[in-house]
């Protein structure tokens, strides 16, 4: 998950300022039941990143979301709010079904959404950046890119080019009466928007992370923790803000 950790460092910097963004409380190694990884506890201060109807009705404390994450699989919750994201990375192009092994009744309720990082139509105009467009980007260090319209069909034929698909299962539960359906729908849309932007950026930033090792990442994480505290106070609001319907 080195590439993921590097991306998260840059993402936090781009999303922090104006009293909002990310506050890191803990970032430490963990070992449990034979599994080793990195444990983090963060607070997301989200005021401008939620729609106006939520800001008007929800108490201010509800816009500060705690996240406890083991490796790259976050389990986020407050007393009346749950977002659970479970991820499987598979060496394919996204043709598998129900990789999370859900029971039949639960699987019937799942809305499967396909994300193509090279499809410009899946990107909101407010999020689009030419320098983060896989259809225009060419990696100097790896030679990968730009991606054409048939890149997913062509990729399996390239034996020298590793690839994978991230299968993400997003579960949202929101218990405030009168807002439940609207907020849950909004969050699902925002998750798709976030995943789309995330993986487009990840591809276009490959030259920034391809040569890093885990020691580099841990050093950068500690430096970033201190920077975020300053940026949240001194910098203006940055990054993704809520798009109103």
Cβ–Cβ under 8 Å, residues 48 and 242: yes
Q: Look at strands 21-32 and 35-45 and give their pairing.
A: antiparallel
Beta-carbon-side half-sphere exposure of residue 102 (alpha carbons within 13 Å):
16
Alpha helices in 46-174 (DSSP H): 52-57, 104-108, 151-154
How do residues 195-218 score in pLDDT, each as one tens digit? 999 899 999 999 999 999 989 988
Q: How many domains does the chain have?
A: 1
Q: Is the pLDDT of residue 97 over 90?
A: yes
Q: Is residue 244 part of a domain?
A: no
Residues 43-60: what's their mean pLDDT?
A: 61
Higher pLDDT, 137 or 176: 137
Bridge partner residues of 166 (DSSP) = 89
pLDDT at 25: 86
| Residue 190 CB contacts under 8 Å (≥ 6 apart), including other chains | 242
- Supply the range of the domain harboring residue 142: 2-232
Q: Is the entire prediction scored with pTM above 0.85?
A: no
Q: Is the pLDDT of residue 42 over 90?
A: no
Q: Is residue 116 part of a domain?
A: yes
Q: How confident is the model at residue 150 (pLDDT cuts 50, 70, 90)?
A: very high
Mean confidence (pLDDT) of the chain: 82
Cα–chain center distance at 78: 19
Q: How confident is the model at residue 6 (pLDDT cuts 50, 70, 90)?
A: confident
Strand order in the sheet with 73-78: 21-32, 35-45, 64-70, 73-78, 81-90, 165-174
Q: Say which range, 22-36, 37-51, 157-171, has the weakest mean pLDDT.
A: 37-51
Q: Is residue 239 part of a domain?
A: no
Q: Is residue 245 part of a domain?
A: no
Q: Give the CATH number, domain containing residue 68.
A: 3.30.530.20
């Amino acid at each position: 998950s080195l590439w993921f950790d590097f991306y998260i460092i840059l993402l936090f910097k781009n999303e922090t300022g104006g009293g909002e963004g990310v506050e890191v409380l803990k970032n430490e190694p963990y070992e449990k039941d034979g599994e080793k990884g990195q444990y983090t506890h963060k607070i997301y201060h989200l005021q401008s990143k939620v729609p106006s109807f939520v800001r008007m009705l929800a108490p201010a404390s509800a816009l500060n979301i705690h996240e406890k994450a083991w490796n790259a699989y976050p389990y986020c919750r407050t007393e009346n709010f749950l977002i659970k994201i479970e991820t499987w990375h598979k060496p394919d192009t996204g043709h598998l079904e129900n990789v999370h092994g859900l029971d039949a009744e639960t699987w019937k309720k799942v809305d499967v959404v396909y994300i193509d990082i090279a499809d410009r139509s899946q990107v909101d105009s407010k999020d689009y950046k030419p320098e983060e467009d896989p259809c225009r980007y060419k990696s100097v260090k790896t030679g990968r890119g730009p991606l054409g319209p048939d890149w997913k069909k062509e990729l399996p034929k390239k034996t020298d080019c590793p690839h994978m698909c991230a299968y993400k299962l997003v579960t949202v539960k929101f218990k405030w009466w009168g807002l439940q359906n609207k907020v849950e729908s909004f969050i699902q849309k925002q998750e798709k928007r976030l995943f789309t932007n995330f993986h487009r950026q990840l591809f276009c930033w490959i030259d920034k992370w391809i040569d890093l090792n885990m020691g580099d990442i841990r050093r950068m994480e500690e430096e970033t923790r201190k920077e975020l505290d300053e940026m949240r106070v001194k910098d203006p609001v940055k990054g993704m803000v809520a798009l109103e319907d």
